[in-house]
Structure 1
Amino acid sequence: MACLSAGAALAAPGASSKPVPAVAAEAAVQQFTLKNGMQLIVQPDRRAPTAVHMVWVRVGGMDELSGTSGVAHALEHMMFKGSKSVKPGDFSRRVAALGGQENAFTWRDYTGFYQQIPSSRLEDVMKLESDRFANNQWPDSEFKKEIEVIKEERRMRTEDQPRAVLMEQLMAATFMASPYQRPVVGWMNDLDAMTPDDVRDFHRRWYVPANAAVVVVGDVNPAQVRAWAEKYYGSIPARAVPLRKPQIEPQQTGVRRIEVKRPAEQAFVAMAYRVPTLNHVEKLQPDDKDALALLVLSAVLDGYDGARLERALVQGEGQAGGRVADSAGSSANIMGRGPSLFMLTGVPAKGRTAAEVEAALRAQVQKIAEEGVQTEELERVKTQWMASNVYERDSVMGQAQNLGNYWIQDMPLDAEDKLLAELKKINSDDVKAVAAKYFGDDQLTVGTLVPQPLPAGSKAQRPMSGKADMSGSMH
């Protein structure tokens, strides 16, 4: 199985970005509400005769009930197994016959399905996708085969990867009430106990028009797309979206620590700090401004080649005793329907310990809390954000992903522009303030991988970065 990182649309700047011409869209993005409450978002882009068609459903791992973890992801798989008019496996074959590519992804906050096809075949995939959205149907035998595929995916992506096991257990320790504590792929015991009707019930409950959006980007006419959407999606009967009850995470009142012992060559440390979530892009509240400042802080630490963590921990610049880590990373996961985390991670260099890496990571944040950041650092990360944004808009898939991500967060169509404008306003004092405010022990959960001897005759581990794997699960 492949994996898709499907996190917040506004990502940290890349290592190297060269400006390219901006998208010359004929018309601005448009949003429509179909007669059954489903949303349609259309962005014309005439530069090539291609289109991306996506369906985003505002349901994911966080909407599962206890004992059914992994059911959102299992349903994503089963959506490829047929409908009343399409036999198991025929959906993918039909898209391929149209000259297209397709896949799907599941995360805590959402599930998504997409096809990239010649724009002349858009109506065909809209007909196909709307059919399986409304009429997903398959025999029990298909589920019994597919659940074994999902279990193997869990073994390969989590149980056979020591750092993935650590991250899974770190999330379980970090969150007490939030459903973010459960893995998107599901606990193995829940997968063992899952039934075909668990999956069917989840589909019946959550795959309703008012809980979904169709996103189309490419060489298309919005009026024609709207007509097709009304024909194929708008005819799906309207049903109420289930009531979501709040699952507020209680205040943390002390540092939490876990250790995971696994056969591995190197230790690994991951530090999860509770931070505010970005909820608004207009009339920003104090927490929104802090969330953006934390995003900038993460970029200053680890947003480009030679950023602070690499210079200090990996290269050993200014460090007594030299380099501390083989790799180190930072991420600010500030968008989502649940609580947000700021992650610091590192892999100890030979002869150094996880405790030394943890201390060095803390020291880098503390240094910013005391001194702030340099103007040139801020300008560099902001410039790279602008360039990376241009790159995203140069791709029809990138545009569709951003529009879908922001819809999931209930943000406006121009959320990206508004956030970029707000990021430009973040200054050294803002970054200094959040570095001092959010990195105390009462907001921290630390996970440490404690290496155990590798089994005799086993192959050495493939080197991995010090970054946390927060990717979603993809069909």
Structure 2
Amino acid sequence: MRGRKWVPALLAALAFAWPLVVPATTAEIESDVVEATLENGLTVLVLEDRRAPVVANMVWYRVGSADEHSGITGISHMLEHMMFRGSEQYEPGEFSRVISRLGGRENAFTGRDYTGYFQVIGRDHWETVMAMEAERMQHLKLQEDEFRPELNVVKEERRLRVEDQPNALLREQMMATAFFNHPYGNPVIGWMSDIEAYTLEDNQAWYDRYYHPNNAVVVVVGDVDAERVIAAAREHFGDIPAGELPVAKPRTETPQQGERRITVEARAELPYLMMGWKAPVLNTVDDPVDAYALLVAAGILDSGEASRFAREIVRGAELAGATSARYSAFSRLDDLFLIAAVPTADTDMDTLEAALLEQVERLQDEPVSASELERVQARVIASEIYQRDSVRSQAFQLGMLETVGVGWRESDRFVERVRAVTAEDVQRVAGEYLVPQRRTVAILDPQPLDGDAPPEPASVQPHGDTAGGM
């Protein structure tokens, strides 16, 4: 991480908190986003937002942990780190020093479906950082003396963010149990045995394979002129030749034959329960109504103090100190509908699990009331309108949608599709997807803490599928 935050708070929230995984939703985006495709295949998206003299510049690559295979898991994240360790024009660390001198902020992130790099900078300097990104897209300089120290950083990052965090460790092992041959079963940061075996040649091969303009999306949001941005993109990226991209093999998950269960023993103060059901996403479902109905179902279960988990399980029966529900429709491949909870001191795990499943079964057995449905729909829409206050979040939403293959225009349809979800839709998808045959249950069995153990988080914050920092 080189002393920086592991991942921006926004990206961490996007990884799990269901109200934040959906795209911005306004007619302004529909009318104001300007899109261009360069001759080399680079996609450029520009959104003018002149409310403040700042600009978010992002470059997204359509490669992440889902593209990796056994033996090199986490290599996308490792390469993300190496992108800051020097190029033909910039010495190691100089990229970051230049941005700091210009008064900007920058970081990077790796997900299952993408790797991204961003800067937030004053309106007078956006073209400078764009040119810098174009330079390292083509001229990254990988060096052994830079690779070895950075490899140690990544190993320590895994220890701190996963192996020393019992909730994260539980989620990682649950994903590996839920998915047999589906790439989301591998952690974004990689398995430690694979990390330890990385070579400089592995990084070079990954860069040569995926870091091409025809596998990238440039997103610029802020106080800019769209025509000028597109002209600058042509100037700085236009001469980079398109690359020959590998043909992705289908990786269809082996059908699940029944409920799967695991118990993870780890040092922790409190036990922890997670359950996940295999569910389709917009890219894989026949009817988008199913994906949006699942998103609303997650909101009915857990979306604030008025949600069912909070009312019935936390405050009512006092079985859990904290709960969470998450579903994202925006990924490349099928994902999981997830719920999680921390039991209170007097609650055993069987009782808590039964209470959570009772609320899931209630979605299947009876239609949600009109007032509750309207409240959840309004909460989703309101949370997305609020996000327009940040140029970075707008850029993230546009880039994420475009990179995973949904397309940024899905943001235009979001409000309409959320409002179109009916009580019958929610009941139907709960009955079709949230069934035992699709379910994986993971239980954290806390072991005694020693003096060096890290403190347990006070609330449910299951780690998502994004690794970041440099």
On the 8 A contact 2:59/2:218 being kept in 1, the answer is yes
Q: What is the CA-CA distance between 1:387 and the residue it aligns to? A: 1.6
Question: 1:290 is aligned with what amino acid?
Answer: D
Q: What is the CA-CA distance between 1:472 and the residue it aligns to? A: 1.0
Q: What is the CA-CA distance between 1:35 and the residue it aligns to? A: 1.6
Q: What is the root-mean-square deviation in Å for CA atoms of aligned residues?
A: 2.1
1:472 maps onto 2:466 in alignment:
yes
Stretch of structure 1 that moved more, 94-103 or 83-92:
94-103
CA 207–436 in structure 1, closer or farther in 2 if over 3 Å, else same:
same
Q: Spell out structure 1 runs of 4+ moving beyond 4 A.
A: 6-11, 22-27
What is the alpha-carbon distance in structure 2 between the residues aligned to residue 110 and residue 104 of structure 1? 11
Question: 2:271 is aligned with what amino acid?
Answer: A
CA 268–150 in structure 1, closer or farther in 2 if over 3 Å, else same:
same
Normalised TM-score (structure 1)? 0.92
Residues 32-431 of structure 1: pairs in structure 2 closer than 5 A: 32-279=36-283, 285-286=286-287, 288-315=288-315, 317=316, 322-431=317-426
CA 452–309 in structure 1, closer or farther in 2 if over 3 Å, else same:
same
What is the alpha-carbon distance in structure 1 between the residues aligned to residue 439 and residue 7 of structure 2? 28
What is the alpha-carbon distance in structure 2 between the residues aligned to residue 255 and residue 80 of structure 1? 43
Normalised TM-score (structure 2)? 0.93
What is the alpha-carbon distance in structure 1 between the residues aligned to residue 15 and residue 289 of structure 2? 17
CA 219–424 in structure 1, closer or farther in 2 if over 3 Å, else same:
same
Q: What is the CA-CA distance between 1:183 and the residue it aligns to? A: 0.8
On the 8 A contact 1:26/1:44 being kept in 2, the answer is no
On the 8 A contact 2:320/2:341 being kept in 1, the answer is yes
On the 8 A contact 2:30/2:412 being kept in 1, the answer is no
On the 8 A contact 1:346/1:466 being kept in 2, the answer is yes
On the 8 A contact 1:8/1:336 being kept in 2, the answer is no
What is the alpha-carbon distance in structure 2 between the residues aligned to residue 12 and residue 74 of structure 1? 28
CA 174–324 in structure 1, closer or farther in 2 if over 3 Å, else same:
same
Gaps of 5+ in 2: 21-25
| 1:49-102 CA-partner distances (Å, limit 9, x unpaired) | 211110000000011121001110000000001101100000000011122111
Count of aligned positions: 459
| 1:434-456 CA-partner distances (Å, limit 9, x unpaired) | 2222222110111111111222x
What is the alpha-carbon distance in structure 2 between the residues aligned to residue 102 and residue 307 of structure 1? 36
Aligned to 1:19: none
What is the alpha-carbon distance in structure 1 between the residues aligned to residue 267 and residue 261 of structure 2? 20
Q: Secondary structure at the match of 1:73?
A: helix
On the 8 A contact 2:114/2:404 being kept in 1, the answer is no
CA 8–419 in structure 1, closer or farther in 2 if over 3 Å, else same:
farther
Gaps of 5+ in 1: 15-21
| 1:148-173 CA-partner distances (Å, limit 9, x unpaired) | 00000000000101111111111111
Q: What is the CA-CA distance between 1:462 and the residue it aligns to? A: 3.2
